[in-house]
Amino acid sequence: MSRLIVVSNRVNVPRGRENDGAQGGLAVALASALKRSGGIWFGWSGKSAPSFSGAVDYRRHGGVATATVDLDERDVEEYYNGYANRTLWPVLHYRIDLADFDREFGKRYEAVNRKMAQTLAPMIDPGDLVWIHDYHFLPMAADLRAEGVANRIGFFLHTPWPPHRLMVALPFHDRLVRTMLAYDLIGFQADEWRESFLHYCERELGGKVDGEWLTVGDRTLRCATFPIGIDATGFAELATGPEARASFTRTRDNVTGRIIVGVDRLDYSKGLIERFNGYRKLLEREEWHSKVSLLQIAPPSRGEVPAYAEIRDQLDKLSGRINGEHARVDWVPIRYVNKGYDRTELAGIFRAAHVGLVTSLRDGMNLVAKEYVAAQDPDDPGVLLLSRFTGAAAQMEEGALIINPHSQIDIAQKLDQALRMGWEERKERWQALFSALNAYDVHHWATEFLDRLRGEAD
């Protein structure tokens, strides 16, 4: 069996069963595939140094070999905080109004990809499969090819891909996308993102599309949809463990009435302002006063990027305004928490919540929606409200209440519907969702992608 080389911006290997609650399902799936193949997980260490030395820190965690490098301080500022998070992220999430088109950011992004490829290339043996992840490394395959790597190389995009008319707002967009033609397989979370990519290649690069196959000039590659799942059974077990049960009890004891939960990074793509305003619309119905609470967990992220500081300030003011308008001595309508929790504690919080609320304005995947479903008590499950603009919506529309996050009225009406929903309908919806999560879990996702990359699946 060929080795697997995984490349991602950050390396996140599960550290053993005792710390399982802090690990995401994606990390577990990739680590499992690496253990089977005896491969390497390569990426940035998360640390900065005065200059890029190319020195590799080799380690072994839980049976998985990792190889990480430090970036220099300018790399971190211009490649990561700059091009990745201030240019690409907003463009990929349809927010060109927030994008910072600094030419130096683009140069540094290309330079870091090139340096990382030069560092990685000597680790790759003939026959190894290379699987590169996310928008940080869009050009990586082309850089590896320049280093003489002829192996099969696949790429999976964790974010949306914007429509053609938005993508062309990115300076040098054609140069960036042409580098992606060096992959053998490109995976997307949803058909919409794949179709947008193929449409761009047809319009801008003169590409020809035949089903999943894209040909540009003399280069042919495959572009397919692989919706990421979670380890649904494992997360369900996590939600019934002693730590999660304690978290469940704390949540139910300390939050008044029926609980609506939202768990998101503090990011403008998550529709948090729209969520608060939709909940505010629900509270216009005084019958819900003191009978429902919104628990919003939003750990800060990317504080160096001005747009993130602005969204945090807006949410602080809005949550305070809503609480000022509606709170009573014994009831606070919004519990707004700016800190993160490990997955074990979150599992208990999800299980305690009567409604899971996801209002993303544009989201490549959204695994929180799936974790909320997996954490529910099968005998008394909650209801999922899910934005139609998430990558997860296509898989979950049968059991979730699909909402338009841009409409305060729709959010309020669907919240009211969920809070009033009877046991039989809740259980029927949950069973449909949980069955779908089990049928296409994160291990199935990884296996299907790698089989396709090897050319073993049609």
Q: What string of pLDDT tens digits covers the 458 residues of the chain?
A: 689 999 999 898 765 443 333 345 677 778 888 888 889 999 999 999 988 988 999 999 878 899 999 999 999 999 999 999 999 999 999 999 999 999 999 999 999 999 999 999 999 999 999 999 999 999 999 999 999 999 999 999 999 999 999 999 999 999 999 999 999 999 999 999 999 999 999 999 999 999 999 999 999 999 999 999 999 999 999 999 999 999 999 999 999 999 999 999 899 999 999 999 999 999 999 999 999 999 999 988 766 677 788 888 999 999 999 999 999 999 999 999 998 899 999 999 999 999 999 999 999 888 999 999 999 999 999 999 999 999 999 999 999 999 999 999 999 999 999 999 999 999 999 999 999 999 999 999 999 999 999 987 55
CA distance 196 to 166: 10
Strands of the sheet with 185-188, listed across from one edge: 57-61, 64-72, 40-49, 4-10, 129-133, 153-156, 185-188, 219-225, 213-216, 208-210
Residues 209 and 244 in one domain: no
Residues 223 and 296 in one domain: no
End-to-end CA distance of the chain: 20
Residues 202 and 298 in one domain: no
Neighbours of 455 (CB within 10 A): 11
Residues 193 and 254 in one domain: no
Residues 212 and 282 in one domain: no
Q: Which residues contact 99 (CB under 8 A, 6 or more apart)?
A: 86, 87, 90, 91, 169, 170
- Domain count of the chain? 2
Neighbours of 206 (CB within 10 A): 10
Residue whose C-alpha is closest to residue 54's, from 74, 39, 75, 68: 68
**Structure confidence at residue 222 (pLDDT):** 98
Residues 225 and 237 in one domain: no
Is 231 known to be catalytic?
no
Residues 39 and 129 in one domain: yes
Which CATH number characterizes residue 255's domain?
3.40.50.2000
Q: Is residue 155 a contact partner of residue 197, using CB atoms and an 8 Å limit?
A: no
Is 133 known to be catalytic?
no
**Structure confidence at residue 2 (pLDDT):** 81
Give the angle subtended at the CA of 301 by the CAs of 275 and 363, to the nearest 5°. Answer: 50
Given 158, 184, 231, 354, which residue is catalytic?
158
Residues 213 and 246 in one domain: no
Residues 258 and 156 in one domain: no
Residues 15 and 96 in one domain: yes
For 43, the enclosing helix (H) or strand (E) is strand 40-49
Angstrom CA distances, 371 to 34, 76, 265, 320, 385, stand at 24, 31, 15, 29, 13
Residues 21 and 151 in one domain: yes
For 277, the enclosing helix (H) or strand (E) is helix 272-282
Residues 222 and 369 in one domain: no
Which amino acid is located at 335 in the chain? R
Domain with 141 in it: 4-229+442-454
